[in-house]
Structure 1
């Protein structure tokens, strides 16, 4: 089963930022592409592509290129490679980790924790705001965007293959921020998935959003400073349909989380601690009891309105976040 990913970053790329991508290709894959773009190609097919990282298994090669003003530039293959570096260290059908670090004038790219190549910028780094992954991909587990300069944020942790999906961001959440997640659940229709927004240092869960297909209930909770869960909130019904794509919008206001699913408001959940947003780093998704999930889109939007009025429109079917 193929999957793909597209999404607007919480903040444009800049010096000191890194992207960590963990994914797995299908068995017998012939290719996949990772694009760092100025906008989504679905809404702007001719947008500039600051980096296209293309892996071709049959040719045993990895190609880097950029598209500027609608025209592709000169491909880079074996240049900027160390003489001891394989032309393509990624194995078809296996998990891989690609780390892209932005310095003053070039990307430094490593594969499976080993340096691979550099790629000089061909467009201004600050124009890059969208990440896309295409073609023969089976599973995407991690798309983390972090800042390493002037201080690491969030703290860097080893890739956790036990998580179904991870999406850290390099900036603090603030009122007016909306995270929009598009996904589909499959395999065991009696399973569950949990979306967790945690603190950077302690990993305490400020938001525990548990979707339980076996019980047909959505549980919201939060941990206190002693890592103890409080009183569950379960009202609102069950708006999810198994094996059907959904879009969940999570809005951050001054006092509470607000949730909308497929264009309709669902519920709210008040912050349970002071300065709740100051240490949140993004979200993790864990699947339970054999349920599996493909996350195909994550968009971060800053509305400029601390009350997030109308945020539910971002989750409506067919709504394109440019």
Structure 2
């Protein structure tokens, strides 16, 4: 598979590597929560990296336990289409499931636990889809992307039509317990870029964000934001912008903040430039009472004094640009 996210925090909002084409496949493995007050969960294929419900949604796949059905729909220009409800509900509370979403030329083919469940005819052209969103009363073990154009030909393993088994992911770094254990602080492995994910409990003094990745062979820039919500335009407490091969501004690491739509003063002073194309990096950002301390490859790199308070408003990590992420964890 082109990329797999293990044990993401919900709501999950992440890019689909390589975009969506005829043949794209997304596999989701998880377990609905057992609690009766959590009556639904949702998988959305969106046309924008936003939790705003009015963003165009090509597929809204809504499992409703209290109604015994799975509603399929779309949203375009802020208006919902006609619901499709036939097929019953193949999901059970507290019972693991495998969902396979297979993009075809004219429709989206959806299988549950290795059996065909439904087709959903395209109401929005597939090439507009770029974001996967999951939310509700469910725990997700893994999200895998593959199929045509994603390097996933013939690479499926396991049961139910090619779903990855929970367990320690291949070539995982040395931190953390095996994936699938759902323990606090569990890393996300190989998440797609752009990545937008919640920071469990928000930032507090002593909280650390650890990001490992590899810049592309041709990398102009990549950016890591600690921000106050998942949407574009939110306040950004720390903007960490690595400019590797940007014309006229290469080998710079800019730190800044953005509040109320206005950017603050840039901080550019660095002791060295630690990033190279195709070379692994580890960035560690620790929150202290008065500042963020940033280390790269286990060496102190920079400090950034807090401009935004309280710290627990900072609840989202966003990473984008010309990189492949290999691991993200919070501790």
How does the TM-score come out when normalised to structure 2? 0.53
Query: Would the aligned equivalents of 1:9 and 1:131 in 2 still touch at CA under 8 Å?
Result: yes
The separation in 1 between residues aligned to 2:150 and 2:90, in whole angstroms, is 31
Equivalent in the alignment of 1:41: 50
Residues 1:109 and 2:118 aligned together = no
Q: CA deviation at 1:140?
A: 1.1
Query: Would the aligned equivalents of 1:55 and 1:63 in 2 still touch at CA under 8 Å?
Result: yes
Equivalent in the alignment of 1:7: 14
Change (3 A) 1:245 1:72: farther
Q: CA deviation at 1:252?
A: 2.4
Residues 1:267 and 2:297 aligned together = yes
| Deviations 1:286-308 (CA, angstroms, capped at 9, x unpaired) | xxxxxxxxxx99977443xxxx7
- State which of 30, 55, 61 in structure 1 corresponds to 2:69: 61
Aligned with 1:126: secondary structure? helix
Equivalent in the alignment of 2:40: 31
Q: CA deviation at 1:152?
A: 4.0
Equivalent in the alignment of 2:142: 142
Residues 1:100 and 2:107 aligned together = no
Give the count of matched residue pairs: 209
- State which of 273, 279, 282 in structure 2 corresponds to 1:256: 279
Query: Would the aligned equivalents of 1:260 and 1:267 in 2 still touch at CA under 8 Å?
Result: yes
Residues 1:16 and 2:23 aligned together = yes
Aligned with 1:256: secondary structure? coil
Structure 1: 5+ residue stretches without partners = 82-86, 167-182, 198-239, 269-295, 318-322
Change (3 A) 1:298 1:60: farther
Equivalent in the alignment of 2:60: 52
Q: CA deviation at 1:151?
A: 7.3
The separation in 2 between residues aligned to 1:246 and 1:124, in whole angstroms, is 37
Change (3 A) 1:25 1:297: farther
The separation in 2 between residues aligned to 1:245 and 1:157, in whole angstroms, is 34
Query: Would the aligned equivalents of 1:7 and 1:298 in 2 still touch at CA under 8 Å?
Result: no
The separation in 2 between residues aligned to 1:63 and 1:123, in whole angstroms, is 17
The separation in 2 between residues aligned to 1:245 and 1:135, in whole angstroms, is 26
Structure 2: 5+ residue stretches without partners = 1-8, 171-178, 191-202, 217-276, 286-291, 299-314
Query: Would the aligned equivalents of 2:44 and 2:133 in 1 still touch at CA under 8 Å?
Result: yes
Query: Would the aligned equivalents of 1:32 and 1:54 in 2 still touch at CA under 8 Å?
Result: yes
Equivalent in the alignment of 1:208: none
The separation in 2 between residues aligned to 1:257 and 1:30, in whole angstroms, is 42
Cα RMSD of the aligned pairs, angstroms, is 4.0
* 1:223-262 equivalence runs, <5 A: 246=209, 248-253=211-216, 254-262=277-285
